[in-house]
Structure 1
């Protein structure tokens, strides 16, 4: 399925590139032809002007005057040999009146666009005038239209893709929320039954040790149920000591981790308050610690570094496991992505959502090197 998606994506991108290249080539060819036609028109205009200046009579003069007066699209500037502007045509008269340097600016632009036509004014005195011309409005529109069109199409496609992505994300969120709440609901019934059986077992003092251990497991299941039930609803944030929360969760995981795994907490703060949802925040820390344990496969070291900053708190969870390739830094947070054979690929996705949406913070891969380990960073606003 993934390979098919990549294949279709490549085909569609290739087709789009062919359309873009073909459009630009066609319009460039068309604008070149229009430009050549305009040069011929200016050449004809110059010849007609020459006829008028030579004071011809009869049909030639009438034809020349008609050619001179019918040019209403191509902007022209007439100068003498010293570059003084003598006349202009088809330029914005309002801007000429408002801006004294407008004609000079246009003249400089015309000089860059096309070589001038030289018109002989007086053969005896060897006087010449120079006709500079620019691109007509039609030529400019033809030249820039495809780029504007492509920009509009690109923006449209971008908006459509963003809308589809938002819709898919919203659908995914609804699925995860529904799944989480249904799980919490389904766990509720057996939990109630287990609590009732515990009360019966407590009646016999000989069962006290067994009851205490079972009670811990029931409390753990109740915590998990509470976590799932909070997904999708706005959690109540409380001011809690982050250092204490992390120490408690680390101690819980340490007791259940292989003996060859070493846990270290590094911080200069004895107490560090932040607004968090304790059950959900514990879930995130637990998930990161369990991922670190899985990455190390029973042997290694986990370092948790807590740092206090003026407006935020950073919590780095570093392991000495197998590491993550750089190309997977973002993929590890996508639902369904997992490197474990039995993994569902939901833990980091939910953890990122808990920190990002509920705590207005960030969870990301700070750094990782294959074969050496990974560091995840939680950034919490105070």
Structure 2
């Protein structure tokens, strides 16, 4: 499903890029054609003005007047040789009345857009007018259209990606919750049966040690069942001493770890109360410690640092294992990502879900270096 989602993202982005590139190319070509057409219209308009100045026969005069009056879209500013504005057409009259500098600003813009036409007034006296013109409103709209479409396409793609991501996350959540609750349900029945057999063992003399050890294993299975049953539901947070919780889990893992692994807890406080779900929080610490053990391959050290701050507390779990490449800092929390041959890639993903969603905290990779080790950080609100 994840690969399929990535495939859809790639297809959407590719389609969007093709649409944008194709549209920009087409609109740019269209804009050049419109610009050339407007240049020819201005040239015709200048020629018509020249005809009026030369006072031709009545037929040509009527044609020139018609050409001049038909220009209602292309803005034009006429200046003399010194650059003084003589006349203008098709400018915003409202802005002219409110801003005396408006025509000058437009003239400067026109000078940058197109080369002016020169219209001879009196060659003997060296009198010439310069005709400056700008882009019509239609041409401006055509040029701005790709950018508007770009924003629309970007918005569309963003909405689609968010929708697909939300849908994918919702499906994943359903799978998580369904698997967890089904596991808890399936474990419940044999546990009840095993407890009954343990009671029978206790009644038979000589089986006390066996019954005691089996009871420990059953209690452990009960704890696992409780953890799975709480996935997908809102856990009941309780005020607990985090130092004691972490210490208990450290001692539990220490008994099952190789002797060459040294566990050390560092804290300046005797007690750090915080609102947690004890069974789920223990699961997180257990996963992080087991992950550290796997990374060290039988020897090294695991240091746990617990710091208290006014509104929150921080738990850093540092190992001296093989480390994580920086590119995988975020990937290690993705479901299914694992560097172990027999790993399912669910431990860290579950741990992050428990801390981020159920405890409203943060679980991140604070530091890691290949060959030197890794530090996972838990941030909890008090």
- TM (normalized to structure 1)? 0.93
Matched, 1:318 2:324: no
* Structure 1 counterpart of 2:274: 274
Moved more, 273-282 or 226-235: 273-282
Q: Determine helix, strand or coil for the equivalent of 1:206.
A: coil
* Structure 2 counterpart of 1:298: 298
CA shift in 2, pair 1:222/1:11, >3 Å = closer
Q: Which structure 1 segments of 5+ residues have no match?
A: none
Matched, 1:234 2:234: yes
Alpha-carbon separation, structure 1, partners of 2:43 and 2:273: 82
Matched, 1:381 2:356: no
State the number of aligned residues: 382
* Structure 2 counterpart of 1:221: 221
CA shift in 2, pair 1:362/1:239, >3 Å = same
CA RMSD of aligned residues (A): 2.2
Q: Does the 8 Å contact 2:5/2:164 carry over to 1?
A: no
Q: 1:114-170 CA distances to partner (integer Å, 9 max, x unpaired)? A: 222222233333222222211111111222212322321222122112111111110
* Structure 1 counterpart of 2:79: 79
Deviation (angstroms), 1:17: 4.0
* Structure 1 counterpart of 2:247: 247
Matched, 1:48 2:48: yes
Alpha-carbon separation, structure 1, partners of 2:247 and 2:79: 85
CA shift in 2, pair 1:341/1:116, >3 Å = same
Deviation (angstroms), 1:112: 1.7
Q: Does the 8 Å contact 2:16/2:153 carry over to 1?
A: no
Q: Determine helix, strand or coil for the equivalent of 2:207.
A: helix
Q: Determine helix, strand or coil for the equivalent of 1:344.
A: coil
Deviation (angstroms), 1:356: 0.9
* Structure 1 counterpart of 2:351: 351
CA shift in 2, pair 1:7/1:248, >3 Å = closer
Alpha-carbon separation, structure 2, partners of 1:13 and 1:178: 33
Task: After TM superposition, list the pairs within 5 Å mapping 1:1-382 onto structure 2.
Answer: 17-204=17-204, 206-382=206-382
Q: Determine helix, strand or coil for the equivalent of 2:135.
A: coil
Alpha-carbon separation, structure 2, partners of 1:369 and 1:98: 66
CA shift in 2, pair 1:351/1:40, >3 Å = same
Q: Does the 8 Å contact 2:24/2:146 carry over to 1?
A: yes
Q: Determine helix, strand or coil for the equivalent of 1:317.
A: strand
Q: Determine helix, strand or coil for the equivalent of 1:86.
A: strand
CA shift in 2, pair 1:105/1:60, >3 Å = same
Deviation (angstroms), 1:10: 6.2
- TM (normalized to structure 2)? 0.93
Alpha-carbon separation, structure 2, partners of 1:324 and 1:307: 24
Moved more, 10-19 or 114-123: 10-19
Alpha-carbon separation, structure 2, partners of 1:151 and 1:206: 79
Q: Determine helix, strand or coil for the equivalent of 1:364.
A: strand
CA shift in 2, pair 1:299/1:194, >3 Å = same
CA shift in 2, pair 1:354/1:188, >3 Å = same
Q: Determine helix, strand or coil for the equivalent of 2:153.
A: helix
Alpha-carbon separation, structure 2, partners of 1:336 and 1:4: 15
Alpha-carbon separation, structure 2, partners of 1:319 and 1:217: 28
Alpha-carbon separation, structure 2, partners of 1:309 and 1:25: 58
CA shift in 2, pair 1:7/1:274, >3 Å = closer
